Chains A and B, each alone.
Chain A
Amino acid sequence: MQEFLDLTLGGISAGAVYAALGLALVIIYRATRVVNFAQPALALISTYLAYSVTKGTGSYWLGFAVAIVAGTLLGVATERLLIRPLRHRSELSSIIVTLGLLLVLQAVAGMIWSNEPLAFPYAFDFVGRFSANDLFVVLVVLVIAALVLVVFKYTPLGLRMRAAAFAPDVARTLGVRVGLMLTVGWGMAAAVGSLAGLLATPPFLFPNVLDGVFVYALTAAVLGGLDNPLGTIAGGFVLGVGLSYVSGYFGPETVTIAALAILVIVLTLRPAGLFGRAKARRV
């Protein structure tokens, strides 16, 4: 029972991170119908920058801030330079380009900071069951998620962003700067992604550190329905707790395969995700 409780609590804080990174994917998917496979690499570069800043200045929070700003700029640059030229091309094109960016950025991170693991600090004390750090992770993610939902749903900016994503032509005739809105979406998403990277990375930072987390985040996003931010956040927490049990009872090495199994089973039963609404495909 004790173990079960520990696993559940550990799963909640892990799930918060999956939810955050998943949210980053969903924001971009809603805006541009692209799954951003470069998201873990964008977050990786910002986390490495945080590492350098923290090391140079001694301040964790200065590094934190730099990472969020850098992440935002990387997201904006990606949309402008790589995604926009592909807007009339097939789905495969954008998948391949974001994968290319993933490879490049991971390699660049390895070139600058080496492939060896570097010690990366937690924000708060991390010892014990549901530590201060765990609480911080869960709270930050919940606040950010709420903020994103509010922005999308209740602000003029959010309304314009949704309009730009769902009916770009109509939005344009009504005076919405569609291109700008898509860029804002990518910037927002990459900022959330960088936050997830900062929370997911400790204790060690190396170029592939976010690969696993990204797979889980993608799984969470698919579970929730790629279109559905609320579903993705719920999916992240559900997956975090579920995988924590798998890790505890079957060993941590089986977790990724378990995530794959969950993904396949859920999509077999509910092709639009656990919380997604089934959508007819137009011919």
Chain B
Amino acid sequence: MTVRTSLPQASPGTAEQHRTRRMPPLLLHLLAALAALAVVVVLTLVTDEFTNLRIATVGYYLIAVAGLTLLTGLTGQVSLGHGAFMFIGAYTVALLVRRVPTFPLWADLLLAAAAGGLAGLLAGAAAARLRGPYLAGATLALAVGLPALTRRFQDFLGGSNGLNFTVHSRPSAMVGVVPELRWQTWIVWLSVLIALVFVVNIVRGKLGRTFRAVRDDEVAAALSGIHVGRTKILAFLISAVCGGLAGGLQAFLLGTAAPGSFTPALSLSLLAAVVLGGLGSLWGALWGAVALVYFQAWSEDLADVLHLNTDVANNLPLAVYGVILIVVVLAFPRGIQGGFQRLRGLLRRSAEQKENHEKH
């Protein structure tokens, strides 16, 4: 947590400012999360069921992308295997719902996050020793290899068809008041926002600075007393917890966990979302998640309008993600959020200029 030291001789005029600043970041982030939840609830109330599903999808992608942002953007570790952590989370929820139906939903989701985290811990232990391309290769192996295991354990993991299940998350009082899907959307966003509060708190705090130090210069970080290996493992752990939760929420929302949804292409699209949003910015994660969902939707619409054949239509989103990765890195390395920041800078400068103009 950030500790801000206030100047003892602060003038009375600035005391007010200091008090608002000293509001604990955790509380601030909680309030922001509450506000965000309210916005989501309102959004789901004014839109149809179809859009509700998209909003929920943005939700679980958001936490997955935020996790990857923390890892790749803030700590400088490439992961091409985040789809694998989602895979683990999804199957954890599916198995728990089917095998241990007495468990409440929140316990299922918590365990999904924990399972993802466990995998992340193992991946992180390897990652602490691997660098750049080596790490990318190892995590890619995870993304390619893990879903194949469903075919090895047909009976337990359901083979290529995966596991289907139904969850009744709506309390009986809500039946007839709120449609199932809308309720699920709320649950998804509630979980995502709780997780995000933790992530934001970490990123803005001491640990976040440690992450950035490791990203910027490992040797310098080590010299200033940071345990580089441990920091990388921790980043992987947090990131994988987010991935596991995202997978668990996806399974909860769709009522299924199947290997076909967790291809290496998923991992790469998550990376595309991180890069598009702006490496290292959590706001960027939101833009990236929205883009993931809506590029998919728009390319479907476009295929409909242009009467594209199914081969072209099915592959259009992936082609778009690929082009995004290339174009953003070559031409706009700071992504959407970087664009916003530049825009804000420009506005501020022009405002200042105007002020100066008026003064003279």
Contact = CB atoms under 8 A, between A and B. Distances in A.
Interface in B271-295: 271-272, 275, 279
Contacts of A85: 330
Contacts of A222: 134, 137
Nearest to A281: B219
B141 A96 contact: no
Interface of B: 72, 76, 78, 80, 126, 129-130, 132-134, 136-138, 140-142, 144-146, 148-149, 151-152, 219, 263-265, 268-269, 271-272, 275, 279, 311-312, 314-316, 318-319, 321-326, 329-330, 333
A111 B316 CA distance: 8
A218 interface: yes
Contact of A253 (B141, B151, B333): B151
A202 interface: no
Given A107-B319, A110-B315, A115-B311, A99 B141 contact: no
Contact of B324 (A93, A100, A251): A100
A100 B272 contact: yes
A254 B148 CA distance: 7
A115 B136 contact: no
20 contacts: A35-B133, A35-B136, A92-B132, A95-B78, A95-B136, A99-B271, A100-B321, A103-B268, A104-B318, A105-B322, A107-B322, A110-B315, A115-B311, A215-B140, A218-B140, A253-B148, A260-B142, A267-B130, A271-B129, A281-B219
A283 B78 CA distance: 21
A248 interface: no
A232 to B, nearest CB: 13
Given A93-B329, A104-B323, A256 B275 contact: no
Contacts of A207: 315
A264 interface: yes
Interface in A90-127: 91-93, 95-97, 99-108, 110-115
Contacts of B152: 251, 253-254
B338 to A, nearest CB: 14
B80 A99 contact: yes
B126 A107 contact: no
Interface of B is mostly: helix
Contact of B145 (A29, A96, A259): A259
B144 A256 contact: yes
Contact of B314 (A93, A110, A264): A110
A267 B265 contact: no
B316 A107 contact: yes
Interface of A: 29, 35, 37, 82, 85-86, 89, 91-93, 95-97, 99-108, 110-115, 207-208, 211-212, 215, 218-219, 222, 226, 251, 253-257, 259-260, 263-264, 267-268, 271, 281, 283
B332 to A, nearest CB: 12
A221 B147 CA distance: 24
A267 B141 contact: no
Contacts of A37: 136, 140
Given A92-B78, A93-B329, 17 more contacts: A86-B329, A89-B333, A91-B132, A96-B275, A99-B80, A99-B268, A100-B321, A103-B265, A107-B316, A208-B264, A211-B144, A215-B145, A222-B137, A226-B134, A254-B148, A259-B145, A264-B126
Contacts of A29: 133
B319 A108 contact: yes
B311 A110 contact: yes
B125 to A, nearest CB: 8
B329 A103 contact: no
Contact of B330 (A82, A95, A107, A212): A82
- Tell which of B144, B269, B321 has the most Cβ of chain A within 10 Å: B144
A169 B318 CA distance: 39
A104 B322 contact: yes
Nearest to A216: B141
- Tell which of A255, A264, A271 has the most Cβ of chain B within 10 Å: A264
Given A99-B271, A251-B152, A253-B152, A107 B315 contact: yes
Contacts of B80: 99
Contacts of A92: 72, 76, 78, 132, 279
A91 B218 CA distance: 14
B323 A114 contact: no
Contacts of B264: 208, 211
Contacts of B279: 92
A267 B134 contact: yes
B321 A103 contact: yes
Contacts of B333: 89, 93
A91 B330 contact: no
Given A102-B268, A110-B311, A268-B126, A257 B319 contact: no
B145 A106 contact: no
- Tell which of A86, A95, A100, A263 has the most Cβ of chain B within 10 Å: A100
B295 to A, nearest CB: 12
A92 B330 CA distance: 12
Nearest to B312: A111
A103 B270 CA distance: 12
B137 A263 contact: yes
A207 B322 CA distance: 15
A218 B135 CA distance: 11
A96 B279 CA distance: 11
